[in-house]
Amino acid sequence: MKKTTFPLVALSTVLIFLSGCASYNASPLNSFTSDMIISHEPNGMGTSDISVGAKVFNKADCKKYLDRDVIAKGYQPIQLYIQNSSDKDYIFSLNRISMSSARPEEVAEKVHTNTAGRVAAYGAGAWFTLGILAVPAVVDGVKSANANEALDNDFSAKAARDQVIFRHSHFNKLLFVPINEYQPNFTVTLIEQDLNKPKVLNVSVRS
């Protein structure tokens, strides 16, 4: 009876560990609808050439769009959406925002799965299960590394960077603002590419 019980217990342990393998599953950022555009810069005709909206992420948003609670690590994500309906191209730069934003690589590093720690935990378990957990240790180590790589790539793709917002296009990216520097109202200064002329956007963040 004892000979039968131990393998069953060990197998159950393996299955439990495998069910908790590291992963990364995040949804793409939503586009903003017209009712979410909460600030705009009118031209002289009563219409808007440049529209802007911003949404502050809560923990549920972090889980859905980043699969990690970056707020707990000290960063407040803000989704910034800029619609350029004009016939001009504008330069967007992070250093022309009135509050600072952390690099996505920095934020991603803070929420990485601890690959070495997970493998070490499996190694300790393998000693008690006569090596049965050795294979899961390898599998989970690979999955953890893959999850971190997917996280790095996704954070980088979603984060705001210096770029040109071309005419009749939109910008939809994340700012990772250190929590102690977060402000619900801030400015974004775009530079008209041809004339090097600034355009200041007043942004109010909505929840």
Identify which of 175, 147, 145 has the alpha carbon closest to the alpha carbon of residue 159: 175
Q: 6-11: list long-range contacts, CB under 8 Å, 24+ apart.
A: 10/129, 10/130, 10/132, 11/132
Task: In whole angstroms, give the CA distance from residue 84 to residue 11.
Answer: 58
Give the contacts of 46 (CB within 8 A, at least 6 positions apart): none
Give the contacts of 6 (CB within 8 A, at least 6 positions apart): none
What is the predicted pLDDT for the residue at 38?
65
Integer CA distances (angstroms), 71 to 75, 116, 159, in order: 5, 24, 15
What is the predicted pLDDT for the residue at 113?
86
Q: pLDDT tens track of the chain, all 207 residues? A: 445 444 444 444 444 444 456 899 999 999 888 778 766 655 555 456 899 999 999 999 999 999 999 999 999 999 999 999 999 999 999 999 999 999 999 999 999 987 544 444 445 444 444 445 444 554 555 688 899 999 999 999 999 999 999 999 999 999 999 999 999 999 999 999 999 999 999 999 998
Contact between 37 and 84 (Cβ < 8 Å): no
